């Protein structure tokens, strides 16, 4: 069962539509269009060209984004408690500017440096956590079912600067260390990781 409009409403709508059409026919723009066909043809050509440019840009495959390799990472000198920059492909522990630890091992460990400023100076940067490879990790036993930070944490030991003990990054203690620096602070700001310049 369809709803039918009363006759007087349909008559009123039809009457208003006819008045609108008559008004549009009398507009000066219609006369201007009739008197200037070249402008209309020009606007049509420009519109078609813009449409073609949009279609072509949508059909061209995206170029892969080139990831810039900065070549350097932050390292932390366990002897002096200071940061230094070194080649990012080095696997910690590496030789530190202060020399080896008292047990003869290298004193440089990987440091993750953060800031709440986009262009931080030295006083605005802080060390989130330190990292070294886990010497007891067997790559053949890696769990491929893990995702996110736990997968990244396989085979890595982490600790805060003030801590003395290293913990596996994918353990509960390691995940707590990582989560601390990826949560917003009291002002709602999220810390951003910074590489050396």
For residues 163-169, give the mean pLDDT. Answer: 90
Tell me which DSSP letter residue 94 carries. B
Q: Which of 124, 112, 126 lies closest to 174, judged by CA?
A: 112
User: Residue 133 in contact with residue 91, Cβ under 8 Å?
Assistant: yes
Largest CA distance in the chain: 101
Please indicate whether residue 148 or residue 193 has the higher confidence score (pLDDT). 193
On the question of pLDDT at 155 being above 70, the answer is: yes
For residues 159-175, give the mean pLDDT. Answer: 90
pLDDT value for 171: 85
On the question of pLDDT at 2 being above 70, the answer is: no
Please indicate whether residue 156 or residue 21 has the higher confidence score (pLDDT). 156
pLDDT value for 39: 82
For residues 27-53, give the mean pLDDT. Answer: 84
For residues 125-134, give the mean pLDDT. Answer: 90
On the question of pLDDT at 146 being above 70, the answer is: no
pLDDT value for 175: 86
- The Cα–Cα gap between 65 and 187 comes to 33
- The Cα–Cα gap between 38 and 28 comes to 17
């Amino acid at each position: 069962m369809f709803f039918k409009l009363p006759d007087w409403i349909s008559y009123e709508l039809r009457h208003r539509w006819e008045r609108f059409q008559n008004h549009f026919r009398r507009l000066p723009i219609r006369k201007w269009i009739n008197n200037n066909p070249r402008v209309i043809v020009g606007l049509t050509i420009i519109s078609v060209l813009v449409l073609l440019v949009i279609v072509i840009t949508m059909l061209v495959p995206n170029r892969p984004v080139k990831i810039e390799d900065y070549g350097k990472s932050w390292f932390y000198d366990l002897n002096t408690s200071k940061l230094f920059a070194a080649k990012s492909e080095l696997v910690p522990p590496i030789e530190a500017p202060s020399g080896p630890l008292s047990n003869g091992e290298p004193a440089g460990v990987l440091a993750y440096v953060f800031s709440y400023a986009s262009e931080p100076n030295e006083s605005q940067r802080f060390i989130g956590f330190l990292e070294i490879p886990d010497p007891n990790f067997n790559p053949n036993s890696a769990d491929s079912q893990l995702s996110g930070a736990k997968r990244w944490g396989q085979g890595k030991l982490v600790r805060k600067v003030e801590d003395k003990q290293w913990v596996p990054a994918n353990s509960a203690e390691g995940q707590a260390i990582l989560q601390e620096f990826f949560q917003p602070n009291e002002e709602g700001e999220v810390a951003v990781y910074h590489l050396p310049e």
